[in-house]
Amino acid sequence: TTHLVWLRNDLRMTDNKALYAACSDPDARVLAVFIATPQQWRQHEMAPRQAEFIHANLLQVQQALAERGIPLSYHQCDDFAASVDWLTAYCAQERVDTLFYNRQYEINERQRDQRLEQCLSGKVICQSFDDSLLLPPGSVKTGGGEMYKIYTPFRKAFIQRLTESDVRSLPAPKPRASGALSVATVLAGFDYPPAEPSGDFPAGEEAALQRLRTFCREQVQDYLEQRDRPAIAGTSSLSPYLAIGALSPRQCFNRLRAECPQLLENHDSGAFGWLNELIWREFYRHLMVAYPALCKHRPFIDWTDRVRWRDNQALLQAWQQGATGYPIVDAAMRQLNTTGWMHNRLRMISASFLVKDLLIDWRAGERYFMAQLLDGDLAANNGGWQWAASTGTDAAPYFRIFNPTTQGERFDPQGTFIRKWLPELADVPDNAIHQPHRWAEQQQRVLDYPLPIVDHKQVRLETLAAFEAAKRGE
């Protein structure tokens, strides 16, 4: 018998349900395949950095599979439709009996998989798995059988389900009896805009597991105090690995629980605080499955679609380039543009600024983030944007508008983070860093830094009026 594992968003050997299942029959011939779909990725605004990261991780997976006697085939098609055709032919050519894959939950991915299963029906058995979540979508519901729309009750029910579920991590599959293979062909690069490998995020599940172990052992106790300080590396920085499946959420949870056995009993602990973030990740994925319109970038709250957004390319570009004149926003955007990663507090501040200070449609920001992020993930990115834009489920209410200056004062009080990314403000003293032009005026100095492109107090009122008009149906 021949088993084929189709690797997609699960680029790891350990705790990979589809791979593990494909290898469970010691006598089967096991093959693996990865299909790049650059045109589809462009449509999904995937960042070139993320494509590069996928490629780098895939090289490691290819090596690790070969050591276990499993050859990895690599193919490039334009889009999902072409990948279905190619895979159908490949299964016939290799006389595949069973195809194994881990489910993806975005709408195009699900349609692709349905179509593939139709094409293979009667010829190849398809076995798919819920692998990228702690609990499968649809498994955490209200008493009335519906998806929760509010996070806190979702979390409560989620934790209850979690304690009843088997979420143990699986080991990497054992080497095949046929022995190790040598990797003869290095995988070609994708037909995608090139990007430099990230120095901050070395590829591979070993790097991810190492980071996870260190974080859970040494840092998680301080998570609640440090997680909102962008100048401190107080969060795990594991999102790029989770986004492409170089790491699984079960591995995160199990490692956390091994270090902090009282995890679920003490809700005030750093460990619980971190688990809470992993549950936000689950919440947004569960929501996306319950409400597929989210994949089409529809707002969760319908009336917000009537907000009359400003169509202003100059303002949008100033935000994208980190030239708004609001230091915390600009530093955040430059971190994103340079590294492909942005601290969570800053994602909230910069998203809020685009929507509530510039009154630009949140979808322009969602797209821009996706095109830059190394950890780009449709559900988390959409969830984050709809939260910040007050268009989503359990979002910030529209009348709560972040003040970018006081946010900076609160979360980067000495301006350490700001100075790192805005060297042009290096000489500005701590107590003036959030409003540098005021200081420059007093000192009669000229700063090589833009003046604020909008007046927060004034635009705040305009934004409130725009949301209120939309709500009234105007």
CA distance 419 to 173: 47
Question: Which residue is catalytic, options 206, 259, 276, 344?
Answer: 344
Task: Using alpha carbons, select from 276, 287, 310 the residue that is nearest to residue 392.
Answer: 287
Give the binding site for ligand FAD (CB under 6 A): 227, 235-239, 242-243, 277-278, 280-281, 284, 344, 347-348, 351, 369, 373, 375-377, 380-381, 383-385, 388
CB distance 72 to 65 below 8 Å: yes
Q: How far is the CB of 220 from ligand FAD (least distance, A)?
A: 9
- 273 or 292: whose CB is closer to ligand FAD? 273
- Judge whether 277 counts as a catalytic residue: yes
- 377 or 412: whose CB is closer to ligand FAD? 377
- Judge whether 254 counts as a catalytic residue: no
Question: Which residue is catalytic, options 6, 274, 280, 341?
Answer: 280
How far, CA to CA in Å, does 107 sit from each of 44, 103, 288, 295, 297? 11, 11, 9, 6, 11
Question: Which residue is catalytic, options 385, 387, 421, 439?
Answer: 385
Q: How far is the CB of 339 from ligand FAD (least distance, A)?
A: 12
Residue 33 main-chain phi, psi, to 5 deg: -140, 145
- Judge whether 439 counts as a catalytic residue: no
- 5 or 370: whose CB is closer to ligand FAD? 370
Q: How far is the CB of 180 from ligand FAD (least distance, A)?
A: 33
- Judge whether 385 counts as a catalytic residue: yes
- 40 or 239: whose CB is closer to ligand FAD? 239
- 111 or 344: whose CB is closer to ligand FAD? 344
Question: Which residue is catalytic, options 206, 277, 409, 424?
Answer: 277
CA distance 88 to 406: 57
Name the burial class of residue 446, with classes exposed (0-12), middle (13-18) and buried (19+) by CB atoms within 10 angstroms of its CB: exposed
- Judge whether 309 counts as a catalytic residue: yes
* Minimal CB distance residue for ligand FAD: 384
Spell out the alpha helix ranges (H) of 68-127.
80-93, 107-120
Amino acid at 100: F
Question: Which residue is catalytic, options 319, 362, 421, 439?
Answer: 362
Which structure tokens are listed for 197?
């490998």
Which structure tokens are listed for 315?
């303002």
All residues at 6 or more sequence positions from 10 whose CB lies less than 8 Å from its CB, including other chains: 16, 18, 19, 102, 131, 132, 245, 248
Q: How far is the CB of 60 from ligand FAD (least distance, A)?
A: 20
SS3 assignment, position 32: strand
Q: How far is the CB of 29 from ligand FAD (least distance, A)?
A: 35
Number of Cβ within 10 Å of residue 434's Cβ equals 24
Partnered with residue 49 across adjacent β-strands are none
Q: How far is the CB of 424 from ligand FAD (least distance, A)?
A: 26
CA distance 375 to 49: 9
- 76 or 236: whose CB is closer to ligand FAD? 236
The residues annotated as belonging to the active site are 277, 280, 309, 344, 362, 385
